Structure 1
Amino acid sequence: MYNAFEYVLQVTKINGDSQDDSSDCYTVVIPLNILQKLLLTNYRPKITREKMTRDLFEKVLSIDVNKVLMERVLNHIDSIVVSLSSSATFEPFTAETSDEQQGQLRISMETDFIVIKGLRALNAIKSHISEIPECWNVAIELKILVPKSGSNNINHSCFDNEESDELSDLINELLSNYSKKKLLIAKVVIEAVEPFKLLTDIENSSLPSRSSKLFTLSSIRLATSALLANMSNISTLQQAELAISYWHTISKYMPEWWRVIKREVSAGEIRRDYVHSHAPVLLGLGYFGAALLQEDPINWEKRLEAIAHINWSRSNPEWDGRIITEGRISKAKSSSLLVASYLKSLLGLSLTPEEGDLEEKLNVMRSLHVNKN
């Protein structure tokens, strides 16, 4: 296929399919065992918040995503797209037509083949067939972008956007058939928010007394579901992005969480002395967040700065009767709503009728307690 100085590929030149004016486009069907020897993967698209969230979904859904991407490439529905680091020589076999032209492409062996689209699919294929050597002879379609004479750079951004859109569509398609979206979003949030990622017990629904964790998957799932209760009008991907932003912002104002990460204090001590890692309080933060996002969708992040001044220790009398009953964290829904109403009042948000009633009952109870003493 090649001599000592160059690769020679039998290709089809596709006129008008390079997606920019800086390159010519060629296609070739090539066995995987040859392809893997040619390709480099040192091109990295620009990282955006949307891409980070989508990548987290891809990680959680990796088995399903990789299966679909792999099948698309193996069935020639999608192509692997590469760019060359330098120009190449095309020698036509046939006369040029309006659409395509057969010929051979001579490429210096010093030229780099850089994957700019289809790397995920390629890796999925390699992972899937690594134990079946004969499958390396399977041929897939490779699209090669060659810089035109006088052009030093190929515009990769159009492929970034195209692959980003295609992957988003694929994830949304998989999500539309996913029966446990709330659980999936919670897993993505845990992956994205550092205190959750490092301090969440994924396996247990409750934490053992000597656990090194602060949270459970179930508590984050319930709290995030409450947070997104009013967000059914946006996509699952957008819901996850919003939840990540909210919990990331909340975590900035919870210094005790970070102290556990830095091993300045144990998780058990924080659970014993503070309320803010317990499931009912997280749920209250979710209820409160839902109201804040609805009432102030523009400035909610700035307004959350107010929670930096809250005393979350159990010794704070504000939590008595609200989240602590007879010295223990209350698991009642009403306690979570009372946490939410406290936070709403702090930020000047309106209470729901149910929250208003609970606040009145709490005040009456406290008054009776004071009079009794």
Structure 2
Amino acid sequence: MDAPFEYVFPAIRGLQAGREYYVSMCPLRLLPKIFLFNEEELVPELRAQRQLNRGRLPEIARYIVENKDSYVFSAITASVDADIRFAAAENLGEQGLVGLLHIPMNARFIINDGQHRRAAIESALRDAPELANESIAVVLFHDKGLERCQQMFADLNRYAVRPARSLSVLYDHRDDQAQLAKLVISRLPSFRGLVEMERSTLSARSRRLFTLSAIYTATATLLTGLPEGDPDSRAGYAAAFWSAVADQFPEWAAVRDGSLTSGEVRETFIHTHGVVLHALGRVGNGLLPGTKARTGDDWTDRLGGLRQIDWRRTNPAWEGRTTIGGRVSKSFQNVILTGNAIKLRLGLPLGSEEQRLEDAHARGADAAA
């Protein structure tokens, strides 16, 4: 028996792999009502989607609510388990691509891609009901069974690749820390031409010494706890610090003037690697005016001690701190231990957590000996 009621979507008809599919718009207020997700209790073999990760939802919902005038979402893809009918617009003939898609109200919609967007939109509407009449694009396929739905999920995610962190920072105009990092780089001759702005890893042949993502993390750490102020003054603090740091590393200047290659510096020394920049940010956080651990003396004089440190990768003092088995490690524990080594050489006190990790590192070194 035909369902007496139906949804009618204005839609565009397309063809992929010999199968018709349809593109339409769905008001945000209807999205949670039509596209249900009730597969959480099923074993993975019987689901057509990954399990909903509710921990991701608050961040996505907050993104919508805080950027109501500029948020953007890609289309949701779903399969429809029902007999659907496409009626082309009368003036376009039966083969027309624009028309109305008729779907029975007892149809089941299975989300193949976009379940977290759907759930986050439902959450965001509770805080910002004024968004209810906005819409999101929906791509609809005819459901050919569980196996087909699972294959669609696998295919849709087969070539999904997150952009490199550096590129995300470069293109992010909402994140104040991203804006700050880019402002510092533009102001600082010591970094100019030496920062890879697109990739988050450096190849052996790269002419760059640093990545934008590493500068971003290190600068955000540097300014943690600093009183909020205008971006220009915060950038001034950061630029002054990194300029003073750069003065302690003649190898950085040698790369700029061409007497050394960046590959030679990265291979021989550790001071251009992200873990060390992050550690230097932690060190600087205790030196800049306004931070809790301010020493009270001229922080630029303190940084002069960086020249007295043996930064060669082969220095055994870095093993277990910056390197593990000779390879540079980016773990947060290694960031702290690297920062500890720098602080101790500069005569700076360690915090309680830093001291705890330092004691554990010393015990491990004693046991290995």
- With the length of structure 2 as denominator, give the TM-score of the two structures: 0.51
The Cα of 1:215 is off from its aligned counterpart by 0.4
2:238 to 240, 243, 253: 243
1:340 pairs with 2:339 = yes
The Cα of 1:310 is off from its aligned counterpart by 1.1
Higher RCO (Cα < 8 Å, 6 or more apart): 1
Whether the 8 Å contact between 1:189 and 1:243 is mirrored in structure 2 is yes
Moved over 6 A (4+): none
2:287 to 276, 283, 292: 292
Please tell me the residue identity of whatever aligns with 1:366: A
Q: What is the CA deviation profile of residues 289-335 of structure 1, one whole-angstrom value per residue up to 9, with x for unaligned ones?
A: 00122313651112211111111111112111110101100110111
Query: Distance between the aligned counterparts of 1:191 and 1:199, measured in 2?
Result: 11
Q: What is the CA deviation profile of residues 340-365 of structure 1, one whole-angstrom value per residue up to 9, with x for unaligned ones?
A: 11122122222111111111111111
- With the length of structure 1 as denominator, give the TM-score of the two structures: 0.50
Please tell me the residue identity of whatever aligns with 1:232: P
Please tell me the residue identity of whatever aligns with 2:283: F
Partner of 1:183: 178
The Cα of 1:233 is off from its aligned counterpart by 3.1
Query: Distance between the aligned counterparts of 2:176 and 2:318, measured in 1?
Result: 33
Query: Distance between the aligned counterparts of 1:194 and 1:235, measured in 2?
Result: 22
Whether the 8 Å contact between 1:213 and 1:267 is mirrored in structure 2 is yes
1:262 to 238, 257, 261: 257
Partner of 1:228: 223
Whether the 8 Å contact between 1:200 and 1:216 is mirrored in structure 2 is yes
1:202 to 197, 205, 212: 197
Partner of 2:303: 304
Which structure: greater helix fraction? 1
Partner of 2:329: 330
Please tell me the residue identity of whatever aligns with 1:323: T
Secondary structure at the residue paired with 2:203? coil
Secondary structure at the residue paired with 1:276? coil
Structure 2 residues without counterparts, runs of 5 or longer: 1-172
Q: What is the CA deviation profile of residues 216-253 of structure 1, one whole-angstrom value per residue up to 9, with x for unaligned ones?
A: 11100000000000113333221110000000000000
Whether the 8 Å contact between 2:184 and 2:239 is mirrored in structure 1 is yes
Q: What is the CA deviation profile of residues 129-148 of structure 1, one whole-angstrom value per residue up to 9, with x for unaligned ones?
A: xxxxxxxxxxxxxxxxxxxx
Instruction: State the number of aligned residues.
Output: 193
1:273 pairs with 2:268 = yes
Whether the 8 Å contact between 1:201 and 1:217 is mirrored in structure 2 is yes
1:193 to 188, 197, 209: 188
Query: Distance between the aligned counterparts of 1:318 and 1:327, measured in 2?
Result: 11
Whether the 8 Å contact between 2:219 and 2:281 is mirrored in structure 1 is yes
Structure 1 residues without counterparts, runs of 5 or longer: 1-177
